[in-house]
Amino acid sequence: MNNTNRGKVLLAMSGGVDSSVAAMLLQEQGYEVIGITMKLWSYDSVSCSSSRTACCDVDAINDARETAVALNIPYYVLDFTERFKEIVIRNFVSEYLNGRTPNPCVLCNIHLKWDALMEKAKALHCDYIATGHYAMINYSNGRYFISTAKDTQKDQSYVLWGLSQEHLSKTLFPLGNYTKEEIREKARNLGFERIAQKRESYDICFIPDNNYHAFLQSQVSDLEQLCPPGNFINTQGTVVGQHRGYPFYTIGQRKGLVVAFGTPKYVCKINPQTNEITLGDKEDTFSDQLIMKHYLLGKYARIPLNFIGETKIRYRDKGHTAKITQYEDHLEIHFLSAVASITPGQSAVVYENGDVVAGGIIDLP
């Protein structure tokens, strides 16, 4: 172990292999580590025998505590459930009621995890905060910015676009230069075999069964009255069927439409004002532009003129070449080739050679 004291780090620990190995790596690099688990949601109804794992349920907290004890580092659990409901859950429900598809992980990172970690780090006199995300932080021309991780399959830069310059200046990502398998192997070599074998956490941590329809119904008691069934229409405006309520659909959706056409149809538009959902062919879901609202710049203090970058419109997106133009309150993204299923409420992230140039929330022109 490196005996050089490189400062004190507050590490977010989920009980999984990534944050556990992050603690080990930070210790090896000479940092004094303090572990913290943020309890964001109640998982009382989640079966412990589930094949999937929640990120901050009781089992996860116990695993994080055991790792902290084994590594001889202080460990805290902070209850942020009310703050999570106020910031993330309220937005999640509101966006669906407005016919949009939110990305709660991005909002949680921006307005809850990093802000809360920074507050606690300051109280504990820590120099840095750290997480087990697969991403890297670089610095050039007076600016910090996120870059993609070595493991492109696990890269999480897409959900980190909202971190401010202050956040990035105090953040460490120990896993950025490792692959997932290397991290699992590291855990096994250090005797943490059970942790090394743990499954991935949920994509949406507060919906363990992935049934967001039921979740919305649990959060909005009069959902059926607020968003009653309405008309499916085709691209010419003709009624072609009935939908069960527009919050239960998303742009690009093909399955679960419960209307037979003989050929596949896709959700092209959701109009909460008229309570109509437009269905069309695959080509009807394509568009060559979007508006990016609530954006944050990364690599550059201002987008260069005639800038061309790769823009991802969802987490698993491969990226699409586009021209980016900056305005005071939004960015305009013009794709060189049309892109399918651009979804309002999701995030768009612009890259240049793996570096995050900008990120924001998708809106349509």
The answer to whether residues 326 and 293 touch, using CB atoms and an 8 Å cutoff, is no
Q: Percentage helix, strand, coil, to 5, in the chain? A: 30, 30, 40
The one-letter amino acid at 170: K
Please tell me the distance from the alpha carbon of residue 311 to that of residue 103, in angstroms, as a whole number. Answer: 16
Which helix or strand (DSSP H or E) is residue 356 part of? Answer: strand 355-363
The one-letter amino acid at 280: G
- Show which residues are catalytic: 108, 205
The answer to whether residues 337 and 300 touch, using CB atoms and an 8 Å cutoff, is no
Please tell me the distance from the alpha carbon of residue 51 to that of residue 14, in angstroms, as a whole number. Answer: 17
Please tell me the distance from the alpha carbon of residue 20 to that of residue 22, in angstroms, as a whole number. Answer: 5
Torsion of CA 72, 50, 41, 194, to 10 degrees: 10
Cα-only R_g, the chain = 22
